[in-house]
A and B are shown apart, each in its own frame.
Chain A
C-alpha cells in the first residue's frame, strides 16, 4: 500500500481552507441580500407585526329627506371593553358587570379572565344604554372601559323602512340604502398605532401614530317627508280598512325621475327587523314585486297608438259587444254585456278591453312591443335601491295574436311598479323616459355643504309632446268622467287610470276573487308635478276594483301632497261628472239555489253579507233584478 505523502495532506488542507473561504463568502453575501435586498419587504412585515392598532369608529352618515329632516340618525350606545391583564379582582368585576349587563356571572368571568389583550363583551356589553354605561363608570373598576360607540336611531319608526333598510351590530349596512350606499355612509376607521412587544405591552420611547377616523357623509334623499308622511298615513288606513296581502305606494316627480315618496305594507321597524319574517324586510315591493299590471298598462297602448296616429279619440268609434274574438279565442270585457258603441275617448274612460285589443291590433305586433320596450319594460329602471326586479316579457317567438291582444290591456306581461311609474311619467311629461333615483346629494357631515349632487338622467325620448298632451287629456277625463272618479281632487286636475290585475296562483291559473287593484295618477294634468301609483293586493271585504279601492287613496295623497309641495290649484280643469249613467248601477243576480262556492263567481261587483249556516243559499235581499250601486251589500241566508 502506498503511503500518503505529506504533500497530499498539505494540498488537501489548502483545499479545505479555500472551500471554507468560499462558504464564508456565500454566507456574507446571503447576509447582505437579507439586509439590503429583502430589507424593505421585511421591514414592512416586521413593523406590522410590531405595531398594535386601536381602532376608532367613525360616525356613520345620517340619512336626510330633501328638506333636511333626519330620517336616520345616530344615538350614543357605548360598548364595554375589558383589559383582562389589568383586572385586579376578576370575581368581583364579573359580578358587577353581570348585574348591570343582565348576563350570567360565569359568562362575565369568562370575558374578564380571557387570554387576550382587549376583550369586547359581546353581545351583552355592546350598544348599551347611557344609564348602564354610567353605572359601570361609577364603579371605577380596574381594566373595565366604556368605549364610545353609536347605533342607528330612527326618529320615525317604521316610516320608509324598506327604502332606508337597516344596519347590523357593527353599524354595517345590511339592507336598503344602508347597504346600497354602505361604503360612503360608513366613513373610514381611524386608528392609533403603537409598537408593542410580543406580549402586547406598549414599547416606551417609540412615538404613536394617530390617524383620526373620517365620519361618513350624510345622505340626502329625494324623498320629501311631507309627501312620505301622507303616503304612510294612507297606506295605514288602507291596511286597516282592507286587510290586504300587501300594499304599495310610489310618488315620483315626472320631470326628473326623483322619487318623492315610497312605501309598502307589511312594513317593519328597522331597529327590530328580526321581529318580522325575512321576506318582509328583504323585499322592497315597489321595486321588487312583479305582476301583471292590468288596465294601468293601457296607458302605454294608448300613448303608442296616438303617437303612431292610428286613432282619433273623439271621431273614431268602437262597438263593444262584451267580448272580442281573436284567433278563435274569446276575450271578454270586464263589464258583462259590454259598453256598446263608444268613442275611443270613452273606450279609455271605460277601460274597455275589446277597444284596447283593437288599438293593439292597429299597432301590430312589431310596433306594440317595440313601444313597450322603449317605455322601459323588460329591463331594470336602474333605481339606486336594492333588489330591483326585471319583469317578464313575452319572447318575440311566443307572441301570437292572442298574446298581442292581451298585452294591449295589460295581461300576460309581468312588470314592476317602478317600471310602470316611470313609463307613465314618460307618457305624460312630454315623452321623456327618466331613470328614477333616490339619492339627491352627499353632504359634508360637519358643515352640511353639498359635496356631490345627483342629476336627473334622461334615458330616452319615447313619444312627442303632442301625443303626451293627448294622453294627459284622455287620462284626466278618466278621472273626471270615467272609472277613476275616486281620485278626483277639486282644482288639481288629476289624471289617471285604474287597474285590476289578475294574479297567477300557485297552480299557474288565474286566481278567483284575488286581484291587485291599482291606480296610476298624476297631477296637475296641464303640467304634471307628481305621479302617484297605489296598488293594493287582495283587499278584503270590498269589490276588488281599482276604481273602488285604489283611486280614492291616490286622490287623498294628491289632495294633501300637492299643496304641501306648493303646487298652485288650477281653474280650467274638467268638471267631475257626478251622474255617470251606467257604471255605478249593477243588477243583482238570482242567487237562490246556488251553493256558497258558486256564489263567488257572481259577486264581483257586490259585497256579500252571510247569515245562517249551511251550504245552499235559500234567501237573498235585495231580490234578483233590482239595480243597486256598485259595491252595495247583498244579504244572503244559508241553509241546507
Chain B
C-alpha cells in the first residue's frame, strides 16, 4: 500500500467530462423552446446548467484532492444532518412541492433536494458501518437486520414526499453495498420477498402508482392522462431512428414533452442524435460503471471498496432506471439522468460524489 496518492483515473475523468459536455448541450437544445416561452430567454436553463456544472466541477476537483478517509470520520454527523433536512422537507411551509412531491427546501432559486444529499450521506455512512462491522454481516440479527433498519428509515421518509424514484435508487445502492460486503444470499431472498410485498402495499396505498403501471403496459389506453408522458417520450425516440433528426431538430421539445430538459432529456437526445447518440451515452455510462467497479476492486481497504461501489452504483442504477422509463421498459418513475438532466442539486452532488470516487482511484493498489 502506497501512502503517496497518485494521479486519478484519467479514463474516468475523460468519461465524466464527455458526458457532462453532452449534457449541457442537450439541456440547451431540449429546453430552449420552453425556456423562451417561460422566461423570454432560450438560454435560461442552459446558462444555469453551465453554472451548476462549473460549481460541480470545482467540487469534484476539491473532493478528488480530499482523502476519502476524511468522510469515514465524519460519516455519522453527515448522515444525521442529511436526515434532519430530509425530515424538514416534510414540514409544510418549509418543504416546497414541485411536480406533486414535497422534495424541495430553501428559497426560490437557492432550493435544494435533501433526498439527493441523503443518498450520498447514506453511502458514506454505510461504507463506514459495513467496513467496521463486516464480521457480523453474515448474521441476520447482528449484521443484516441493523443495516436494513439504517436503510429503511430514510427510505420511508423519502417515500412520504413521495419520491419513489429516489427511494428505489437509495435502496438499490444500499443493497448492492450490503451484498458486496458479504451478506448471505439467503437473507437477500427474504428481503426480496419482503420488498415485493412492501412494493405491492405501496401500490395499493397510492392509486396513482397503479395508473403509472397500467400506463406503462399500454400507454395508449389513456393517452391524455397516465399514458401521456410515455407516449410523448416514444414519439420522440421512435422518429429518431439510427442517425436522429439532427442536433436541435427535435419536434417533441416544442411543448409536446413537458419539461424536456429534466427526466425525459434522454428522449430528446435519442430524437436528435438517434440510436447512435443514445447508444453512445449508454456506453459512456457503462464505461463509467466499469471504471468505478475497477476502482472498487483495487481500493486499498474495504471502506474504499464499498464507498467506490456505492457511488458508482448510485449513478448506474439511476441511469438504468431513467433510460428504462424513457424507452417504456418500466413504469414512469420520476428520476433524472445523472450528469445530463437539468438540475443543480443533482448535478453538483453527482460531480462531488465522483470527486470522492476519483480520490479513491488515486489510492488504488495492484
Contacts and interface: CB of A to CB of B under 8 A. Distances in A.
Interface of A: 1-4, 6, 8-10, 12-14, 16-17, 20-21, 23-24, 26-28, 30-32, 34-36, 38-39, 41-43, 45-47, 49-50, 195, 197-199, 203
A72 B102 CA distance: 67
B354 interface: no
Nearest to A8: B182
Given A16-B179, A27-B327, A49 B136 contact: no
B214 interface: no
A41 B237 CA distance: 12
Interface string B95-133: 000000000000000000000000000000000000000
Contact of A199 (B181, B255, B297, B302): B255
The 6 closest A-B pairs by CB, nearest first: A42-B238, A4-B182, A197-B254, A198-B255, A46-B235, A198-B256
B202 interface: no
Contacts of B181: 4, 9
A34 B293 contact: no
A17 B290 CA distance: 7
B20 to A, nearest CB: 20
B356 interface: no
B90 interface: no
A197 B33 CA distance: 10
Given A1-B139, A12-B180, A35 B289 contact: no
30 contacts: A1-B139, A4-B181, A8-B182, A9-B305, A13-B297, A16-B313, A17-B293, A20-B289, A20-B320, A27-B320, A27-B323, A27-B324, A28-B282, A30-B324, A30-B328, A31-B279, A32-B279, A34-B238, A35-B237, A35-B275, A36-B241, A36-B242, A46-B235, A46-B236, A46-B251, A47-B239, A50-B256, A197-B33, A197-B254, A203-B254
A542 to B, nearest CB: 69
Contact of A42 (B235, B297, B320): B235
A379 to B, nearest CB: 48
Given A4-B182, A31-B270, A42 B239 contact: yes
B282 A43 contact: no
A16 B256 contact: no
Nearest to A197: B254
Contacts of B234: 34, 38, 42
Nearest to B143: A1
Given A2-B138, A4-B182, A39-B241, 6 more contacts: A3-B135, A16-B313, A20-B286, A32-B279, A42-B237, A43-B239
B282 A34 contact: no
B238 A38 contact: yes
A45 B252 CA distance: 12
A14 B135 CA distance: 21
Nearest to B220: A45
B238 A46 contact: yes
Interface in B270-301: 270, 274-275, 278-279, 282-283, 285-286, 289-290, 293, 296-297
B137 A4 contact: yes
Contacts of B296: 13
Nearest to A11: B180
A189 B256 CA distance: 28
B316 A20 contact: yes
The main secondary structure of chain B at its interface with chain A is: helix
A17 B309 CA distance: 10
Contacts of A195: 251
Contacts of A43: 238-239
A28 B286 CA distance: 11
Contacts of B270: 31, 35
Contacts of A49: 235, 256
A18 B273 CA distance: 28
B271 to A, nearest CB: 9
Contacts of B328: 30, 34
Name the prevailing secondary structure of the A interface residues.
Answer: helix
Interface string B237-281: 111111000000001101110000000000000100011001100
B221 to A, nearest CB: 14
B327 A30 contact: yes
Contacts of A1: 135-136, 138-139
Nearest to B309: A13
Contact of A28 (B279, B305, B313, B316): B279
Contacts of A8: 182
A10 B302 CA distance: 10
A31 B254 contact: no
B345 interface: no
Contacts of B21: none
A6 B313 CA distance: 19
Contacts of A199: 255
B293 to A, nearest CB: 5
B65 interface: no
A24 B282 contact: yes
A609 B311 CA distance: 114
Contact of A35 (B33, B180, B240, B293): B240
B65 to A, nearest CB: 26
B218 interface: no
Chain B CB count within 10 A is highest, among A10, A41, A198, A203, for: A198
Interface string B307-318: 001000100100
A23 B293 CA distance: 15
Contacts of A45: 235
A4 B237 contact: no
Contacts of B236: 46
Contacts of A46: 235-236, 238-239, 251-252
Interface in B138-197: 138-139, 176, 179-182
Nearest to A46: B235
Contacts of A50: 251, 256
A47 B239 CA distance: 9
Contacts of B293: 13, 16-17, 20
A34 B316 CA distance: 22
Contacts of A30: 324, 327-329
A36 B176 CA distance: 34
Given A1-B135, A21-B286, A27 B329 contact: yes
A524 to B, nearest CB: 70
B134 interface: yes
A23 B255 contact: no
A42 B241 CA distance: 11
B291 to A, nearest CB: 11
Contacts of B135: 1, 3-4
Contact of A17 (B285, B289, B320): B289
A83 B290 CA distance: 57
B339 to A, nearest CB: 16
A50 B241 CA distance: 17
A41 B236 CA distance: 12
Contact of A31 (B137, B139, B255, B282): B282
A4 B178 CA distance: 12
Contacts of A42: 234-235, 237-239
Given A4-B181, A28-B282, A198-B256, A23 B320 contact: yes
B315 to A, nearest CB: 11
A442 B181 CA distance: 86
B327 A16 contact: no
Contacts of A31: 237, 270, 275, 278-279, 282, 323, 327
Contacts of B255: 197-199
Contacts of B302: 6, 9
Nearest to A9: B180
A2 B254 CA distance: 61
B237 A34 contact: yes
A217 to B, nearest CB: 38
A589 B316 CA distance: 115
Nearest to B322: A27
Nearest to A12: B180
Nearest to A4: B182
Contacts of B285: 24
Contacts of A41: 238
